[in-house]
Chains A and B, each alone.
Chain A
């Protein structure tokens, strides 16, 4: 456990604090720190200035807290407030300039709470974090204009200070961590370069932006043809974490500080329950956290310390302390009791007061809460919390002078929550591993069953488990054509399943031997031949030898080529065309390279054509020393010789008529013949499919032919490279592989992969719903990371 040196970085209050904004994007997965439009008039009562020094003292002490989070992220904790405010000022004004024009409704009554951020982000690409910084110089002048309401955001201006802090590291244990975000994700990159003048246009930005992009796509038609690979990031909703006390959902007697962390009670001095005042956070706690935790520092307990810390549902009355009302739960400072919809509490922990740091957590795996005091765990409390409703961190105060400051991850926690969550995660994982495998797997994995046990789920025996795994491994190896591995695997499998002593007719044996090796070996020869052939076909495609692939497929799997009106055949033929064009481009490139290398010698042809000796000639004329030295020969020759090597190797099949060692004629002739061949092939292709009205066919055709326009399609970038590149070839090979498998009645995706995907979806769905601790079943970590 190390101390965090960077902790101190958040304490000094200096004008350069602004730089602490920049680390924002460093942690890609936790897309988080977003400077925000801020309060022109922070509502902080002067009363607060005194307690705040206490705060800073405490944070000074906090330096020694164990922190498991990476120290780099710590830098991004909220900037010192004075600076923050001036920064915020600028950014706020930036927003105003377009907000004000985009709509002039002064205030939107929102029913939907704070969600409206996302809408903005979606339609205004310019809401990226670079904005505030870019205009910081100019905007400050205009920034003075205090048009309070920001209608789009629909948050009172003081609602949006530059609170930016990294997602606390304990949340990294959640499988859905990528969805857990601190406020609006800066997912949208700026649509164009930062341009001071642009600021003025922003007024109409929604319109210009869209028309711009339309134009763009019109200009470059290939874009619409692009078969965009699906985004790898799931399109799931973003799960926002609580970041601050809501300015909406707080009692009138409470004030919220500009950064949203402090709550101060402003009522007249004490008078019974009716002066209770509560606040809750902007966002509810996503169950996907698995465990959520925040800490509260008691800045001042006032006279009595009637402070309640806990959780509350969305619409719980704000004139009541958390724990009094139904759907609220709280730990009270004056008596140390826990309250869950009750008027008299239950003895729970110690009392707390000024200077104490109270932690409050909810564990969705058990639907219980827990509290900590000054870093010590007080144990679980409450049942069924957060089970049926969304819950928000919530705090209630009752007396003048009471003030608290919350830490949602703005700084390191007093309690070692990382370790706590880690333990929980391990606990859940070992629970999962203790789940017995049951017989339903036999069906899932299509392992033949001796008797049809069907609906009844019984635990699998060791042997059955092995059979299931065996099936997974074998089908996987078959699918991808790992022939040798499969052979070696099955050989050993056969040996070990062969009982050394035939044990008579015990029923137990029958169970264990359900998949007897004999059954499989009877058909294994043909299976293996099939697999070898399929692998060969796939490899031909990847090698660019389309003719062989087509011929072999035609000979053995003709239905594959006929399916979908020959769509796959069409794709293969398109690829063949691509290969021819690439070949021509390659020849041209070589010609040119040798042309320049061979300097004055216009006998490019000779060099190309010639054997080793020719290469040496060139060497001779070049600066390089001894013409006889084999080194130099090779050194230079390596440029020339591969031309031939590559030529004969890679293109053997497509070059058919003219091919043959040494009989190639000049490179120029070679190039021309290849090009002609390519064009002729293309024309045949065009002719063959001219009556095919299918959109997909037309698009593929168009896209394929477009590559002719580029001198070197491989390096052309963009769509062209996508069409001709190696990945496209691999994709085509995979498609062919799947099609052949499908034609044989085999699954187009290996069972193992299906199972993996299925399991992953189970886990994330359960995680989203906060069920069973699935959020701690981290497949990536358990199965994939080394």
Chain B
């Protein structure tokens, strides 16, 4: 194989410099993130400070935030009610999302040590659904495995992570995305897309040429 071509630092810097992007552009990327992730007050402040029009009304951010807060404090029932208040179709048309919410509810029972409730809930609500799809079943199994460990600290990482805040965030993110989608809004945070493109591009380019790293 021929030696990889290298791009010199000066050339690279020149190209970096030539990229057309303005502060306004970047401001909008930030705003996109604040709105989609529901940072309502930050979005409001930013709209003022950066003199940038908000892409949505702040109230819609508020209702999504309430739902997310409910999920984050583990009140799944409240979240489900609120989502249905907003638009019942969201959960009706999205079996996977509904299952994940119920799974989260089961997790919360277990976290609180309400073993009886957990078992009953699993048997009445989740077992039947586990038969619907292999993905549901394996998720159910994984969740039930939490009960097998005396303290969550002794559980293997793959199972213990169900109890982490990350798991709640994940569920909350999923719900958030579904709501945004139902509102006809983009649900992908552009900043995440940017980072993905960065990683994708860096990897591909590194295979082809040498270039100065960041």
Residues of A within 8 A of B (CB): 230, 232, 234-235, 432-433, 435, 437-438, 440-441, 444, 461-463, 465-466, 468-469, 472-473, 476-477, 480, 482-489, 491-493, 496-497, 499-501, 503-509, 511-513, 750, 752-766, 769, 771-772, 774, 777, 779, 782-784, 786
Chain A positions within 8 Å of B151 at CB level: 504
Chain A positions within 8 Å of B40 at CB level: 492
Judge whether A468 and B195 touch: CB under 8 Å. Answer: yes
Q: How far is the CB of A229 from chain B (nearest CB, A)?
A: 11
Judge whether B164 and A503 touch: CB under 8 Å. Answer: yes
Judge whether A762 and B201 touch: CB under 8 Å. Answer: yes
User: A753 CA to B163 CA in the complex, in Å?
Assistant: 36
Stretch binding the partner chain, chosen from B121-129, B134-142, B165-173: B165-173
- 14 new A-B contacts, CB < 8 A, other than A507-B157, A508-B164, A763-B197, are A234-B18, A441-B198, A461-B166, A463-B169, A469-B192, A482-B50, A486-B42, A489-B39, A489-B42, A496-B72, A500-B72, A501-B74, A505-B153, A760-B21
A752 and B198 in contact (CB under 8 A), knowing A462-B166, A506-B160, A757-B21?
Answer: no
B148 lies within 8 A of chain A by Cβ: no
Tell me whether chain A's interface is mostly helix, strand or loop, or mixed.
Answer: helix
Chain B positions within 8 Å of A774 at CB level: 201, 204
Chain B positions within 8 Å of A432 at CB level: 193, 196-197, 200
B30 lies within 8 A of chain A by Cβ: yes
Chain A positions within 8 Å of B15 at CB level: 234, 761, 764-765
Stretch binding the partner chain, chosen from B83-91, B93-101, B183-191: B183-191
Judge whether B208 and A466 touch: CB under 8 Å. Answer: no
* A783 touches which of B48, B153, B193 (Cβ 8 Å): B193
Chain B positions within 8 Å of A504 at CB level: 151-153
* B194 touches which of A440, A465, A508, A783 (Cβ 8 Å): A783
Chain B positions within 8 Å of A438 at CB level: 199
B26 lies within 8 A of chain A by Cβ: yes
B33 lies within 8 A of chain A by Cβ: yes
Chain B positions 101 through 143: 1 when the CB is less than 8 Å from some CB of chain A, otherwise 0: 0000000000100000000000000000000000000000000
Smallest Cβ-Cβ distance to A461: which chain B residue: B166
Q: How far is the CB of A382 from chain B (nearest CB, A)?
A: 22
User: A491 CA to B42 CA in the complex, in Å?
Assistant: 9
Judge whether A509 and B165 touch: CB under 8 Å. Answer: yes
Judge whether B44 and A508 touch: CB under 8 Å. Answer: no
Q: How far is the CB of B204 from chain A (nearest CB, A)?
A: 5
Judge whether B19 and A760 touch: CB under 8 Å. Answer: yes
Q: List 18 A-B contacts (CB under 8 A).
A: A432-B196, A463-B169, A485-B49, A487-B45, A489-B39, A491-B41, A493-B39, A501-B111, A508-B161, A508-B164, A750-B26, A752-B30, A759-B201, A760-B19, A762-B201, A766-B205, A779-B194, A784-B25
Judge whether B198 and A758 touch: CB under 8 Å. Answer: yes
* A506 touches which of B23, B45, B74, B163 (Cβ 8 Å): B163
User: A473 CA to B39 CA in the complex, in Å?
Assistant: 12
Judge whether B197 and A485 touch: CB under 8 Å. Answer: no
What is the number of contacts between chain A and chain B, taking CB atoms within 8 Å? Answer: 208
* B45 touches which of A465, A473, A485, A752 (Cβ 8 Å): A485
Interface size class of B (residues with CB under 8 A): 35 or more
Chain A positions within 8 Å of B64 at CB level: none
Smallest Cβ-Cβ distance to B203: which chain A residue: A435
Q: How far is the CB of B185 from chain A (nearest CB, A)?
A: 12
Tell me whether chain B's interface is mostly helix, strand or loop, or mixed.
Answer: helix
Judge whether A762 and B160 touch: CB under 8 Å. Answer: no
Give the 6 A-B CB pairs with smallest separation, nearest first. Answer: A762-B201, A489-B42, A488-B42, A488-B41, A485-B46, A484-B45
Judge whether A784 and B21 touch: CB under 8 Å. Answer: yes
Chain A positions within 8 Å of B55 at CB level: 786
User: A764 CA to B16 CA in the complex, in Å?
Assistant: 11
Q: How far is the CB of A502 from chain B (nearest CB, A)?
A: 11
Q: How far is the CB of B73 from chain A (nearest CB, A)?
A: 5
B214 lies within 8 A of chain A by Cβ: yes
Chain B positions within 8 Å of A487 at CB level: 45
Chain A positions within 8 Å of B173 at CB level: 462
User: A513 CA to B50 CA in the complex, in Å?
Assistant: 30
* B190 touches which of A465, A755, A769, A782 (Cβ 8 Å): A782
Q: How far is the CB of B206 from chain A (nearest CB, A)?
A: 9
* B30 touches which of A476, A488, A506 (Cβ 8 Å): A476
Chain B positions within 8 Å of A513 at CB level: 165
Chain A positions within 8 Å of B16 at CB level: 754, 757-758, 761
